[in-house]
């Protein structure tokens, strides 16, 4: 009667090193995605907690902008319609458009808050920017504080050297926008509430990648690590027949 004998073929050191590196790399990416998912879950929980709170008056000076993140606040002042920014390449429900950032000059303070008035669709041509004029009458507005997470990643100039207004910009950099306005800009933007006059589409999404998508990516990376191990074993295991009397 013949039986199967499993023979282990010794792998080369090059194969061992390559396998260890790949398994470590894929596992690291999986763990990183899990960490990203957890961070975003915490951010979403904080946003849910604060978005139902009563709006607060903004108190100056601001020691740590991060403590205001997602806080609902009320501002008194007026919009500066002549100097607005149009943030390019913003997606809403799979449609390309812009977000409109309008400086809001605070009462009794020579500082402005950049107010994101929401999303508008791309017109027939990028050469013609959307109509975004708003009056400069004194008003009270309400919204949620958005403080960027870290420094913006970008390639190229923020506005490609443009000098006209409204100014088309490629990314959000409050320091660069402050230099363009020649006014002091507070270190956050205000996401205008949906019930406010002068707003556009204000269905605010905190992330383009949700925590669930990060979890799906983590599963894919861990699956690749396991696949590498399986391939390594299959390539070095050989079965042979052994005859018994």
Looking at the structure, tell me whether residues 20 and 133 fall in a common domain: no
Looking at the structure, tell me whether residues 171 and 235 fall in a common domain: no
Looking at the structure, tell me whether residues 186 and 216 fall in a common domain: no
pLDDT-above-70 percentage for the chain: 89
In a domain, 117, yes or no: yes
DSSP 27-84: HHHHHHHHHHHHHHHHHHHHHHHHHTSPPEE--SS-S-GGGGTT-EEEEEEEE-TTS-
Number of domains comprising the chain: 2
Domain region containing 135: 71-192
Task: Report residue 208's pLDDT band, with 50, 70 and 90 as the boundaries.
Answer: low
Measured from the Cβ of residue 117, the count of other Cβ atoms closer than 10 Å reads 26
Looking at the structure, tell me whether residues 130 and 166 fall in a common domain: yes
Looking at the structure, tell me whether residues 92 and 27 fall in a common domain: no
Torsion of CA 191, 194, 197, 201, to 10 degrees: 80
Q: Coil, strand, or helix at residue 17?
A: helix
Looking at the structure, tell me whether residues 188 and 85 fall in a common domain: yes
Backbone angles phi, psi at 112, to 5 degrees: -125, 155
Looking at the structure, tell me whether residues 76 and 150 fall in a common domain: yes
Looking at the structure, tell me whether residues 80 and 188 fall in a common domain: yes
Looking at the structure, tell me whether residues 228 and 183 fall in a common domain: no
Q: Which of 28-37, 42-51, 113-122, 172-181 has the lowest mean pLDDT?
A: 42-51
Stated pTM of the model? 0.72
In a domain, 81, yes or no: yes
Alpha helices for 52-185 (secondary structure H) = 174-181
Looking at the structure, tell me whether residues 77 and 172 fall in a common domain: yes
Task: Report residue 194's pLDDT band, with 50, 70 and 90 as the boundaries.
Answer: confident
Looking at the structure, tell me whether residues 99 and 11 fall in a common domain: no
In this predicted model, which residue has the larger pLDDT, 79 or 131?
79
In a domain, 56, yes or no: no
In a domain, 85, yes or no: yes
User: 95-112 in b/e burial notation, b at 16+ Cβ within 10 A?
Assistant: eebbbbbbbbbbeeeebb
Mean per-residue pLDDT for 158-170? 85
In a domain, 198, yes or no: no
Mean per-residue pLDDT for 57-69? 84
Per-residue pLDDT reduced to its tens digit, 101-145: 999 999 988 899 999 999 999 877 777 788 899 999 999 999 999
Distance CA 238, CA 232 (A): 12
Computed over every residue of the chain, the mean pLDDT equals 85
Residue 30 makes CB contacts below 8 A (sequence gap 6+) with 218, 219, 220, 221, 222, 225
* pLDDT score, position 245: 47
């Amino acid at each position: 009667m013949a039986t199967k004998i499993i023979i282990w073929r010794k792998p080369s050191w090059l194969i061992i090193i390559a396998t260890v590196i790949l398994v470590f790399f894929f596992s690291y990416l999986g763990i990183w995605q899990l960490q990203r998912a957890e961070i975003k879950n915490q951010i979403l929980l904080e946003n849910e907690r604060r978005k139902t709170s009563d709006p607060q008056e903004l108190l100056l000076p601001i020691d740590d902008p991060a403590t205001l993140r997602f806080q609902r606040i009320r501002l008194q002042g007026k919009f500066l319609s002549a100097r607005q920014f149009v943030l390019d390449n913003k997606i809403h429900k799979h449609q390309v458009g812009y977000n409109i950032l309008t400086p809001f000059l605070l009462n009794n303070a020579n500082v402005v808050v950049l107010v994101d008035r929401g999303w508008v669709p791309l017109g027939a041509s990028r050469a013609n920017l959307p109509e975004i004029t708003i009056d400069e009458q004194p008003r009270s507005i309400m919204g949620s504080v958005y403080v960027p997470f870290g420094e913006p990643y970008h390639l190229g100039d923020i506005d490609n050297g443009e000098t006209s207004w409204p100014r088309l910009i490629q990314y959000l950099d409050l320091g660069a926008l402050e230099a363009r306005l020649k006014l002091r800009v507070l270190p956050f933007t205000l996401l205008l509430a949906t019930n406010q006059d002068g707003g556009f589409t204000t269905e605010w999404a905190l992330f383009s990648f949700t925590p669930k998508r990060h979890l799906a990516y983590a599963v894919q990376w861990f699956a690749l690590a396991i696949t590498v191990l399986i391939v390594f074993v299959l390539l070095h295991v050989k079965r042979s027949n052994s005859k018994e009397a």
